[in-house]
Amino acid sequence: MEIQAWTVVTPGEPMVRTTRDESPGPGEVLVAVAGCGVCHTDLGFHYDGVPTRHPFPLTLGHEIAGTVVVAGPGAERWLERRVVVPAVIPCGECPACAAGRGAVCPAQIFPGNDVHGGFASHVRVPARGLCEVPDLDDPAVNAAGIDLASLAVVADAVTTPFQAIHRSGLAAGDLAVFVGAGGVGGFGVQIARAFGAHVVAIDVSADRLAMVAEHGAELTLDAGRVDFKALKAAVRELAKRHGVPGFRQKVFETSGTAAGQSTAFGLLEQGGFLSVVGFTPDKVTLRLSNLMAFDATAQGNWGCLPEHYPAAVGLVVSGAVAVAPFVEQRPLSAINETFEDLHAHRLTRRPVLIPD
């Protein structure tokens, strides 16, 4: 099948429209892309020198939803099914996968990094791990009234914080603090609230804080207006009001900035938990002895295992996690302008690009 794609030939320069022929091999499928979200990881690849494992030229894009239109041998059951493509697809067979550590699978496939991604008419991916989308035409199932294209953001922006929250052991009545309320952080706020937690959101954008205040954040704090000492005091006051001890406080760094990582680490309490979800190439100076002194835990989070995707999709289609207010759809042909807008911080919502 001939695929129309927008391809990075030289990082930092405008992407160019290209065509190539693709056929799925054994266990693979071709997915007709309904929508592909633009993630800050894509910006890192394009502008910041973050290395990709597949050399350029490369089609980026790893937040993909669409319909399987061609199936290779062994993948026929997926034909004509609507799916969300995991951003990280483990092999399912290596020792890491057998141990439940598919996130560090050495043979994992990351669309838009290991192989050509979703800023295209179609994408070729392994069938393993695909998440089938429920019947969106049934109002009893799709209470949110979401369309397939918008479900693309589930592939990273929703599932990544879902896994981080799941791994933290967050329970009803706990305190969840998100440092960074855009994209991943905005969805993380909603997921934590759906888990029954008290939720704090910290950001430097008043617009993002206003959005999450309407979607699950009990307390919002503007780090651009409030110093760290006041931030910590406000979080402690909320914890005290609800009787939440330090060991039931979970901090999620979702800003992907050095300042955000320093803030998140500083908010750790005794017995607390820190999940590092955001990425920055910048170095941060921390006193790691705090982990020892507080008997605290810090954990990284890489993507989301495919087995968690159905639960995350369920939260979205049920309306427990709102997607529509946090995304905007644009034609795929506007990809260069969209990347420029995101890079210049002109957008407050996550773009989903629709093939046109």
pLDDT digits (tens, 9 = 90+) for 284-328: 999 999 999 999 999 999 999 999 999 999 999 999 999 999 999
How much is the pLDDT for 214?
A: 96
For residue 18, pLDDT beyond 90 = yes
Helices assigned H by DSSP within the chain: 40-47, 95-98, 159-168, 184-194, 206-213, 228-242, 258-266, 289-294, 309-318, 335-343
pLDDT in tens, 115-172: 999 999 999 999 999 999 999 999 999 999 999 999 999 999 999 999 999 999 999 9
For the segment 15-42, the average pLDDT, to the nearest whole number, is 96
Percent of the chain with pLDDT over 90: 96
CATH architecture of 160-300: 3-Layer(aba) Sandwich (3.40)
CA trace torsion 2, 45, 168, 296 (10° rounding): 160
Q: Which CATH superfamily is domain 2-155+304-354 in?
A: Medium-chain alcohol dehydrogenases, catalytic domain (3.90.180.10)
For the segment 21-44, the average pLDDT, to the nearest whole number, is 96
Tally of CB atoms within 10 A around 230: 12
Going from N- to C-terminal start, the domains of the chain cover 2-155+304-354, 160-300
- Residue 186 in tokens: 């905005």
How much is the pLDDT for 65?
A: 98
Burial of 332 (0-12, 13-18, 19+ CB in 10 A): buried
Percent of the chain with pLDDT over 70: 100
Tally of CB atoms within 10 A around 319: 14
- How high is the mean pLDDT of the chain? 96
Whole-prediction pTM value? Answer: 0.95
For residue 281, pLDDT beyond 90 = no
Distances, alpha carbon 92 to alpha carbons 7, 49, 81, in Å: 29, 30, 22
How much is the pLDDT for 348?
A: 83
pLDDT in tens, 175-191: 999 999 988 999 999 99
